[in-house]
Structure 1
Amino acid sequence: MSTSSPRQAGFLAIELDGAGWAGADIARAVLAAESAGFHAATFTDAPVPGRANALQRAAFAGPVSRTIALVPEVDTVYTEPFHVSTQLASLDYVAGGRAGWIATAAESPEAAAAVGRSSVAGAALGQEAAASIEVSRRLWDSWEDDAVIRDVATGRYIDVDKLHHVDFETPAGFAGAGYSVKGPSIIPRPLQGQLPVLVPAFLLGVVSPDAVDGVLVSAPAAELLTAEIRDVRARVGASVAVVAELDVVLDARGQAAAGRVAGIDSGRAVYAGSAAGLTDFLTELLKEADGVRLHPASLAVDLEELGRLVLPELRRRGALRPVVQDGTLRDLLGLQRPVSRYATATAAHAAAAPPALESKGKP
């Protein structure tokens, strides 16, 4: 979606799904991850009754954190694209420009039942994801950056000429129920202009690399990760961040990792062993990947070890890029802030129009 700067040292994200559901638990985990030096915290979602969803947990973490990026998983199949877009834009404001989006599309009869829809499977999952991402990106651009004018003299809060219809229609051959989105958004343009969007690698068959800023790469075993990373890199090019997924179980508190690894069945690569061994593994992995998303077996145990032993040594080796101070997730990823597609169209329209007409380009 955006042009990236040249490759630099890597970044680390940590999954905080095990932090608990209470606000105090979320705040404690986010602050611990930030203090440890992680660049981003991610939040897995699932249709669990009575539980705050990933977006809500990320939004709660926004005001209590300062540097760590907040990146929730948000489903693209059983959620309305317009609402996803506006909620993510709101998150970017709450987080001060540190928000991102992991756009997921998984076959889930439970999620379908929760919203009263038929289950979606196969190629239709990718189509739903691609459509939702496109809708969100258009809506984020539907307010130009200077649309909010707060003109007290005229009583105008916005310049309506700088709000635009997005006119999205699902394409021909769309496998699911077709829909349209007119727009504009009900939220001003996000602080970052466009939130960075990441998708799992399996969606790349339908979702274009040009539509995303990052790809999450999984493998069934740690020794297979490098080959998967190289394969995805060849498909997406250098301008899209490639992020490896890794479950982590560390020797800690006198207990060997082997004693805690038996319960892990995520399908992701697993590292189980010493902090020193993980540091060596990540040092090599970050030569191939732009970043790594760690899934600790136990936040209460593994996060402490990561912050105490692993991240400091990775920084000493120069394997990690600096934490962004007073910046955005786009800054961390080396992405420029994009110009709204509609602002470009407006400027072009105005330039082509006779000067006397002072055309601003209607939506």
Structure 2
Amino acid sequence: MTRKLRLNAFLMGVGHHEAAWRHPRAEPAHLTDVRHYQRLARIAERGRLDSVFLADGLALRGDVRHNALGGLEPLTLLSALAAVTDHVGLIATVSTTYNAPFHVARWFASLDHISGGRAGWNIVTSAGEAEAHNFGVERPAHADRYARADEFLEVVTKLWDSWEDDAVVGDRRAGVYADTEKIHPIEHAGRYFQVSGPLNTSRPPQGRPLLVQAGSSEDGKEFAARHAEAVFTAQQTLADGQEFYADLKRRVARHGRGPGELLILPGLSPIIGSTEREALRLEKELNDLIIPDYGLAQLSHLVGIDLSPDALDRPLPEVSADTEGAQSRRRLVLDLARRENLTVRQLLVRLAGGRGHRVVAGTPEQIADEIQEWFENGAADGFNIMPPVLPGGLEDFVDQVVPELQARGLFRTEYEGRTLRENYGLARPASAYAAGERLEPVAS
């Protein structure tokens, strides 16, 4: 079967460019308007995109004085999007650091039932100190966060599997609703969690909602290779994308999985014009709306030093790449600054459009060329599309770039199935209990 692109729409408020809220094509009041997001989901479905994705954090990130921040909780919102769509997948970020496995298993099982099998979980470990302080604790070390996440996912998977697919009988005549021989306590006892089970929600339509991961540190890549079925990543160059892609596919093989069991989707922010000049003009319009104080505060937090306005026209100072926070993103930004010998001001402009993700301005054909080059040269299985301004940027991509990709035979013209797994070309896992395996409790 011919390999096809996978395309996810990353929905970020009124756009991914940090100045999007100031642009005439955006409306900041839409940030908490469910109708705005429902419109975006319908646009994505009209374009036959695989999924939409809502990121999340557990603290107010950035300076709300200069940016439209403070959106809606993603699982609540995705339930509203499920009601107005039929095919597009629904992926949300939920942290393993400040939640309990039972809650998360139930939330995503419920979303999968509500949507008819379209739920996906972007698994994060919450790198920020502000997030930890919102829960009255100190931020765990990087390795500890991933160790907890590993066991967290194990518990969630056991809970999803705790009801076999045919556990619900619904025999009215016999008075039997469920076959309790097919509903299993999990009796998990581990380092971080003790959970009896079973889940109090029946098995999700997909068996297990799709598992997504977005970290590119060493711990993050190993976690993805063991567990994830899609990876959202940030790569600036084709060579970097190829290196990451090859590395992760090798890791997947070492864990006994096939290369097609993990889809790699780099972020791409397309600025689209009918001509290249028009696209570059839109890019300039957005960049002219940047507020340097906002960018400086964001960059200071990322690189771990306090950058004053006096630093704007000088190179970024030497900074260690080591951090207990967002390791891979800090390394990407430092590499970008050094590779292109950027001043701080120039770096702020480069980061404004996608926070380290690749930004490409051009015609629909040029955007399609970029996508095709990465897809056909071992750098991507598809892309996490990050429109600079919403809703217009997503409409431009769906109405102008998607037809070009379809004409080249790279992207579907109709959905392959009803569930997110079917459309991503991924197998539906059986319950480990039904498969005859005994899920042994983890030793303390």
TM-score interval (norm. to shorter): 0.7 to 0.9
Amino acid corresponding to residue 197 of structure 2 in structure 1: G
Q: Which residue of 2 aligns with 1:247?
A: 269
Output the aligned Cα RMSD: 2.4
Tell whether 2:408 aligns with 1:342.
Answer: no
Tell whether 2:136 aligns with 1:120.
Answer: no
- Contact conserved, 2:232 with 2:265, CA < 8 A, in 1? yes
| Distance 1:267-1:18 versus aligned 2 partners, 3 A rule | same
Q: 1:166 & 1:301 partners in 2: Cα distance? A: 47
Q: Which residue of 2 aligns with 1:144?
A: 164
Q: Which residue of 2 aligns with 1:225?
A: 241
The one of 333, 341, 357 equivalent to 1:268 is 357
For these two proteins, the number of residue pairs brought into alignment is: 336
Q: 1:301 & 1:53 partners in 2: Cα distance? A: 23
Q: How many Å apart are 1:144 and its aligned residue?
A: 0.6
Q: Percent identity?
A: 28
Amino acid corresponding to residue 133 of structure 1 in structure 2: L
| Distance 1:170-1:108 versus aligned 2 partners, 3 A rule | farther
Counterpart mapping for 1:1-363 below 5 A: 8-19=3-14, 20-47=31-58, 51-171=71-191, 178-200=192-214, 201-202=216-217, 203-207=219-223, 209-221=225-237, 224-237=240-253, 238=259, 239-251=261-273, 254=278, 255-261=281-287, 262=349, 263-264=352-353, 266-287=355-376, 288=378, 289-324=380-415, 326-345=417-436
Deviations 1:5-61 (CA, angstroms, capped at 9, x unpaired): x77211111111225322211111111121133221111112367743111111111
Q: How many Å apart are 1:63 and its aligned residue?
A: 1.4
Q: Which residue of 1 aligns with 2:333?
A: none
- Contact conserved, 1:54 with 1:73, CA < 8 A, in 2? yes
Deviations 1:108-148 (CA, angstroms, capped at 9, x unpaired): 22222333333223111211221222111111100011111
Deviations 1:224-263 (CA, angstroms, capped at 9, x unpaired): 3233223222322413222222233334795332332533
Secondary structure in structure 2 of the residue aligned to 1:345 = coil
Per chain length, whose mean CA-contact separation is higher, i.e. which structure has more relative contact order (CA < 8 Å, sep 6+)? 2
- Contact conserved, 2:416 with 2:423, CA < 8 A, in 1? no
More off after superposition, 243-252 vs 21-30:
243-252
More off after superposition, 224-233 vs 23-32:
224-233
Amino acid corresponding to residue 195 of structure 2 in structure 1: V
Q: 1:275 & 1:316 partners in 2: Cα distance? A: 12
**Structure 1 segments unaligned to the other structure (5+ residues):** 1-5, 172-177, 348-363
- Contact conserved, 1:249 with 1:260, CA < 8 A, in 2? no
Q: How many Å apart are 1:277 and its aligned residue?
A: 1.5
Amino acid corresponding to residue 342 of structure 1 in structure 2: Y
- Contact conserved, 1:247 with 1:270, CA < 8 A, in 2? yes
